[in-house]
A and B are shown apart, each in its own frame.
Chain A
Amino acid sequence: MALSTLQKKQLVAVTGLGLVGFVIAHLTGNFLIFKGADALNDYAKFLHDLGGLLWAARIGLIAMFVIHMGLTANLVINKIKARGSNYAKFENHAQKPSFSARIMPFSGVVILAYVIFHLLDFTFAEKSGIINGVDQGLYGLVVTSFMDPLHSAIYIIAMAFLGLHLSHSLQSIFQTFGLVSVNRLNTIRTISTAIGVGIAVAYSSIPVYVLLNF
C-alpha cells in the first residue's frame, strides 16, 4: 500500500517529534557540564555501560532520522514535479510565511551536515582532553574543543538553525495532526517559537560558558 502525501507528512511529524525528544534529552545530559568534569564523565560512562540498551536507542534514533529525511526527500521530489514550470515572477501576499518556514529545507540540510560533523567531532572521537595538565576525558574534550572560538561559532550557528527548524516544526505538528483551531493558532506559534529559541540558547550556553571561563 502506497502512503498518501498526508500520511508521509504525519510520519515526518511523528519522527520529528521523537527527534525533538532526543534533542531535549541530549540537552539535559549536556547541562551536567555545569556540575563539573565528574558529573559529565560519570553520565557518559553510565550511558556506555547500558550496552545493548544504548544500541537499541541508537538504532531507534537512526531509524527516526532516516524516516524523517527519507520521506521529506520523497515529498520534495514530488513537490518539484507538482509545480511543473516555474514562475517568471513570484511574490508573497501581505500574509507572509515566517522566516523559519521559508528556510525549512535549508535549516534541515544544515542540521544534517552538523550532525555528521558532531558525530565525528565528539561521538567517535577519542574521549580525552588535557586541561591544566590533567586528562579530563570527555569533559576535557568538550572544553578544549570549545576553547577554540571557531569551533564554538560553528556549534552556535548550527544550534541557531536547529532553533529555527524547531520554531516552525513544533507548530507544524499541531497543524499536521489537526489540533489547531483559529483561536489557538497564535498561541501555538508563539510557544513553538519560544521552545525553538529556548533550545538554541540553552545549547549555545555551553560554548559560551567555556569561552568565558577557560
Chain B
Amino acid sequence: MSGESINLKLKVWRQNGPKDPGRFEEYQANDVDTSASFLEMLDVVNAKIIKDGGEPIVFEHDCREGICGSCGAMVNGKAHGPKDKVTLCQLHMREFKDGETLVIEPFRARAFPVLKDLMIDRTSFDKIISSGGYVSVNTGNACDANSIPISKENADKAFDAATCIGCGACVASCPNASASLFTSAKISHMALLPQGQTEAKKRVVQMVDQMDHEGFGHCTNTYHCEGACPKGISVENISRMNKEYLKAKLKG
C-alpha cells in the first residue's frame, strides 16, 4: 500500500570514525513514500548515495519492529523522532510535512562514543547489566511454574520495567546524559520479584557504581527520559532504585 509522497531535506551527521570530529552533510530525499518507515527512507537515500559513488550513512538496525533496541537517532532534536512511544524503525514518514528539513544526529553521551555516522557504541549498557543484572538459579529439576506466589501488582510493574529495550533514548534525551532510567528499569525488574531478592543489595550497589564508572551523569528529576522512552518506562523505577540503593547502603 503506498501513500502520498513528500520531499525532505536531510541534515545528517557524518563521522568517519570515533576520532573524526564529524560534520553535517545535506541530502535531498525526494518522493519519500509517507507509509515508509524512517529507516526505509534512509535505505532509499543510501541506495542513491551508493549509486552516486558515495559512502552510505551508517545507522544501526536489526528487528525493525520496535523490540530489539538497535536503532535510534535524534531527529529534529528528539530521540527516535517526534512521535512518542515509538522507536525510529516504527516511526513513519507520514509524521513529517512536505518540504521539511530534518536534522539527524546520533545519540550523544560520553559513555556512547560514536563509531560512525549515526552508529554508537553502547557497550557501557552491557557493562551495567553484567555488573549485577542477573539472578541466582538453583540447579536440579525444574520447579513448578507457579510455585512462587507473586502479587499481580508486582508482576505487572516488573514486566513494565522489563520492556526496556536498552536503546539509549533516555540517556540521549537527558540533559545530564544520565543512565538512571535504564539502570533503574533493569534493577526494578528484578527487585520486584522474589527471584531477584538473593542479590538485591549487591545488585543495586554494583549497577549504580558501574553506571557512574561508565561516565553517565546524575539524575536531576527532569523526567525528559520518560517522555523520550519508546517503551514508556516510568520514572517510578528511578525512585525505586534510589530507595533500594539507600536501603543497601544503610543496612550494609
A residues near B, CB below 8 A? 4-10, 75, 78-79, 81-97, 101-102, 104, 168, 171-172, 174-182, 185
Contacts and interface: CB of A to CB of B under 8 A. Distances in A.
A31 B217 CA distance: 41
19 contacts: A4-B245, A5-B217, A6-B208, A75-B218, A78-B218, A82-B110, A83-B176, A85-B108, A91-B76, A92-B224, A93-B79, A101-B220, A168-B221, A172-B220, A175-B238, A175-B242, A178-B244, A179-B239, A179-B243
Contact of B110 (A84, A92, A97, A101): A84
Contact of A83 (B103, B109, B239): B109
A91 B244 contact: no
A83 B236 contact: no
B103 A88 contact: yes
Contacts of B245: 4, 6
Given A97-B223, A168-B221, A175-B235, A6 B242 contact: yes
Nearest to A93: B227
A82 B176 contact: yes
B219 A9 contact: yes
Contacts of B216: 82
Given A9-B219, A83-B217, 12 more contacts: A78-B218, A81-B217, A82-B110, A82-B111, A87-B74, A92-B227, A95-B226, A101-B223, A171-B221, A177-B246, A178-B246, A179-B243
B222 A83 contact: no
B25 interface: no
Contacts, number: 134
Interface pairs A-B: 10 shortest CB-CB: A178-B243, A95-B227, A82-B217, A93-B227, A79-B217, A91-B77, A79-B176, A5-B218, A89-B77, A84-B110
Interface in B193-252: 208-209, 211-212, 215-224, 226-228, 234-236, 238-246, 249
A177 to B, nearest CB: 6
B95 to A, nearest CB: 13
A7 B249 contact: yes
Contacts of A95: 84, 223, 226-227
Given A4-B209, A94-B84, A95-B227, A176 B221 contact: yes
A93 B84 contact: yes
Contact of B224 (A10, A89, A97): A97
A126 B142 CA distance: 81
A178 B242 contact: yes
A182 B226 CA distance: 12
Given A78-B218, A84-B109, A4 B212 contact: yes
Contacts of B84: 93-95
A179 B103 CA distance: 39
B222 A10 contact: no
Contact of B236 (A10, A88, A172, A185): A185
